[in-house]
Amino acid sequence: MLLKIENAQLEMLSAIVSKNRITIEDRLKNLATEKNISRLKKVTGFESFSIAEKGVCTSDFCAAAAEKIFNETEIKREEISAIIFVSQTSDYFLPSTAHVLQARLNLPRDIAAFDISLGCSGFVYGVYIAASLIQNLPGKILLLCGDTATRNIFSDDISCLSVFGDAGAAAVISKSFGQKIFFNLQSFGELADAIIMQRGAYRNSLLVKNNSVNVRENFVTMDGVAIMDFSVKFVPQNLMELLNFSDVKISEIDKFFLHQANKTILNTVAAMLNFPAEKVPFKSGKIGNTSSASIPVTLSEIKVKNSLSILSGFGVGMSIASALIDLKNLHCLPTGEI
């Protein structure tokens, strides 16, 4: 679905990762040979991972990112008219984490607050929803996103252990007359089994064996080959459709900020678009694939500015959400840690 939203901008961004970093060698100790670990590092680009410490949830990363904005910039809490929390690792089944964060961040009661359950495409979806809402709201929108996906990995699942990390981010979307953001949103639900947690919600309860729920079937499963095929088949097509819709040439784009799925996927997408690899930054080698936080983390690591860019999140769902956006007014704070 191709869309254009006017008079909205991405104004402020803050990303938070964990001070606790674990190398791929330590993470795969006793699970893979030194040769296989070296191969995985080369293919994925991931050398170490941001791992949430015990008791730290996605909301903690997001709250820290939001507090950084309120404490270090001129944006005031009373300016916020809505809070959107995008994550697949919320604090509770209910209530929504957005309401918990509204109180925790001491935001006004006169505010809209809700959660969105999305992963890799979640940040761009959040920007789309916020840009749509801002047209009819008096203030700014606080978009919070991220995941502590490492909590969903079984202890011997090399495919996930060699990819995922934890992080959270906060962004402020505000009105900006004359600005335009173009979007291309697509859903591929027939491929949903490529990344899935089959148990733990209401379709299938947790499986208990020997009085324990520490059973592989209760954790996430990922089909790496299917995800690679999906990414290289559909993401370049999605991005070209977006460029054609916005009437912008690929040569006019300063950078493509893609979901940090892994380095090979990013390089392959860049090659298929005939776009220089250096303009498709991979900045998560020491952080990991942090789901919906990965695009904000990349922007924060680069501290991007004055850039006509494409943001594209793709993965779990399966889904793709891309945006062509002028980041000239975006202020990125340095990446923080908790």
CA gap 337, 214 in Å, rounded = 29
Task: Judge contact between 264 and 206, C-beta under 8 A.
Answer: no
Choose among 222, 148, 163: nearest CA to 27: 163
Q: What is the pLDDT of residues 296-314, one digit of tens each?
A: 999 999 877 668 999 999 9
Burial per residue of 3-30, b for 16 or more beta-carbon CB atoms within 10 angstroms, e otherwise: eebeebbbbbbbbbbbeebbebeebbee
| Token code pair at residue 51 | 């791992």
Under the banding of pLDDT at 50, 70 and 90, the label for residue 211 is: confident
Output the pTM of the full model. Answer: 0.95
- Residue 51 phi, psi dihedral angles, 5° rounding: -120, 120
- 3-state SS class at 284: coil
CA gap 50, 236 in Å, rounded = 29
Q: What is the pLDDT of residues 315-336, one digit of tens each?
A: 999 999 999 999 988 999 999 9
Under the banding of pLDDT at 50, 70 and 90, the label for residue 186 is: very high
- Residue 76 phi, psi dihedral angles, 5° rounding: -105, 150
- 3-state SS class at 44: helix
Mean pLDDT value of segment 239-263: 94
Task: Please give the radius of gyration of the chain, using alpha carbons only, rounded to the nearest integer.
Answer: 19
Rounded to the nearest integer, the mean pLDDT of the chain is: 94
- With pLDDT > 70 as the criterion, what percentage of the chain qualifies? 99
Q: What is the pLDDT of residues 110-134, one digit of tens each?
A: 999 999 999 999 999 999 999 999 9
Residues in a beta bridge with 22:
49
DSSP letters, 123-186, are HHHHHHHHHHHGGG-SSEEEEEEEEEGGGGS-TT-HHHHTTB-EEEEEEEEEEEEEEEEEEEEE
